[in-house]
Amino acid sequence: MQYDWLWKSDKDAEYKRFALESPSLDDYEAQLQRFGSIQKEIDSVSSIHIIGALSLNTKHLKLHLGRECDDWKFTVSECCCTNMR
C-alpha cells in the first residue's frame, strides 16, 4: 500500500499539476532524484519474507515497482525536455 500511488496515480495529470508551478530545471532534477530514492528504497527491501512455514518471494513485485519508478522518471524527463525548448 505504501507504493500503490506509483501505479494508481495518473502520471500526466500529476505532471500537469507540477507544471503549473512553473518548475525550474532544479525542480525537475529534484523530482528525478525523488523517484530514484524511492527506487533505491524499494530495492533495499528483502526479496524473501518468511512467515512461519510460508516463504514469500517479492522479487517480481519489486521489479514491477521499479519499472513504475522508471515510468515516472521518463514522464518527468520527457516533459522537462518539452518545456525547456
pLDDT of residue 84: 62
pLDDT of residue 33: 95
pLDDT of residue 85: 59
What is the three-state SS of the chain?
CCCCHHHHCCHHHHHHHHHCCCCCHHHHHHHHHHHHHHHHHHHHCCCEEEECCEEEECHHHHHHHHHHHHHHHHHHHHHHHHHCC
Q: What does each of the 85 residues of the chain score in pLDDT, given as a tens digit?
A: 889 999 999 988 988 888 888 888 899 999 999 999 999 999 999 999 898 898 989 999 999 999 999 999 998 888 777 766 5
